[in-house]
Amino acid sequence: MPNLRLLKVIQPSGCTKTLNFSQGLESLPDELRYLSWDSYPLESLPSDFKMRNLVELHLRNSQLEHLCLGVQHFRRLKVLNLRRSRNLTQIPDLTKAPCLEKIELKDCKRVVNLPRITGMLKFLQSLDLSGCSRVDKFPELPRNIKELNMSGTKIRQVPSTIEHLSHLERFVLSKCRKLETLPTSIHKLKSLRYLDLDDCMQFKYLPKNLEPSLSTDLLLLEILDLNNTKISEIPDWIIRLPSLVQLVICETRITTIPASIKYSKLHHLEVRGCKFLLSLPELPVSLTFVDAQGCTSLEKVTISSIALGPQVPYRSSNYERLIIDDSLKLDRDNIMNEFLSRAVRMANGLAKDIRFLRAGYNLQVVISFLGKEIPEWFSHKREGCVTIMKLSPHWNNTNFPGFAACLILGWNDNGDSPRRPWANLKCKMYVKTINGQTCINRASRLCNLREDPSSNYVFLWYFHVEDLDSSAEEISFHFNKDIKVNFNGPMSTPQVKRCGIRMLSPQDAA
């Protein structure tokens, strides 16, 4: 088959057997454009195989030690994928591959470093060296590269010349456990959208003294992950980045968060496991998710002074969640006020812009924390998972068609502890009207519950009900009492031990 253009050898999932070439592989067609061979069994490709016509080469999980012998001209090659070739020690001379756009060497454990000529590959857009645990030098790279993954390498520093990578959009340095900081020139990555430093356990600080004019070069940075690093301070310039929407600083040594976060555009903030964090400052109204689980020193959450302001534009997010489990020092009235400020803001926004209802948004606010008491504010409270509310004759005059619920959840006393305890809570509302009874369903995905089966959780849950009959006289709320949980081990079912409900009203905004 000398004119074969495409060859694909697939190893089915779960299959451990490979093709046996005890006498070696004699040749491959020189006209091949696309070669993909899972678990290629030999140490190199055939010596007489001319690769000048190859456009894509995929040899995942191979037994390669070197790709080829001698000099090869890869004049058309655009994709080189050798991921998980754990015996690979040498990368071929890539000066003869001028069209290369993508190099994947993930988990090539024996590769030490790339040849310096990678900086000459002017069309290279993506380089993946993740899991190349012997790589200890930062590669030379062309200016046009867009994606760079150095996760799990042994690099100690990022060179200041990184500033020349003006097209870099995605930069992954996670698990680089010898990396301690980044150069000041990082601010010149004007195309950067995603920066991942997760699990860089020796990473101690970000550049601090950037002038405001300098930091604005990072205009497009949207996601910054500093999880499980040694940082103890978040520079103010980070918070002020204009496009930053997700900030992950879990398991760090921070004690405070800059007050300027109030004016940020963050949607997602994770501070889980920050055991030294003392308070959360006033948070932006744009924020829809906050995870503060395990912040055992947390004493205060500052309520937003602008959340109830008449000029604050309502965002079209349909879900807001604040998780503050383990914050035993946090005042419960403080938590309740934060819940009300967010619930009222969402309800107030709905009253002003009905488009969100017509779009089918299931609008909710959820706050969860350890506890076992229902706040007095909830007007209808009962033991168990059912409570009943009689509506006033003029309930429909309010502009706040939503309910605030408080649920106390706890585990059965069977000693079972869930391994991956994520739960979905459901509520059925049986509505008595002048025309009979109707049923409305609402559901909310809750946070992961503590693995200690003796713990009780308080869930504050605001949900909007746009389809409530105007003639409704009474509502019976039934909260699903056997919440299915993802786990490995014996079945474990959390129970709704107590519940409370209240219809949100304009007076709650006071």
How far apart are the C-alpha atoms of 163 and 187, rounded to whole Å? Answer: 8
3-state secondary structure of 185: helix
**What's the pTM?**
0.86
How far apart are the C-alpha atoms of 335 and 129, rounded to whole Å? Answer: 45
3-state secondary structure of 236: helix
Name the residue among 129, 81, 117, 79 with its Cα closest to residue 99.
79
CATH architecture of 369-509: Sandwich (2.60)
3-state secondary structure of 261: helix
pLDDT for res 214:
47
* Single-letter amino acid code for the residue at 437: Q
**Cβ(487)–Cβ(419) below 8 Å:** yes
What's the length of the chain? 510
The CA R_g of the chain, rounded to the nearest whole Å, is 29
- The residue behind tokens 């990368």 is 91
Residues 6+ apart with CB under 8 A from 113: 135, 136, 137, 139
Checking 268-274 for CB contacts under 8 A at 24+ apart, the result is: 270/227, 271/295, 272/323, 274/249, 274/250
**Cβ(273)–Cβ(293) below 8 Å:** yes
Q: What are phi and psi of 120, to 5 degrees?
A: -90, -5
Query: Which of the residues in the chain have pLDDT under 50?
Result: 212, 214-215, 307-316, 356-360, 415, 417-420, 486-489
The torsion angle over the Cα atoms of residues 175, 181, 185 and 187, rounded to 10 degrees, is: 70
**Cβ(94)–Cβ(74) below 8 Å:** yes
pLDDT for res 166:
92
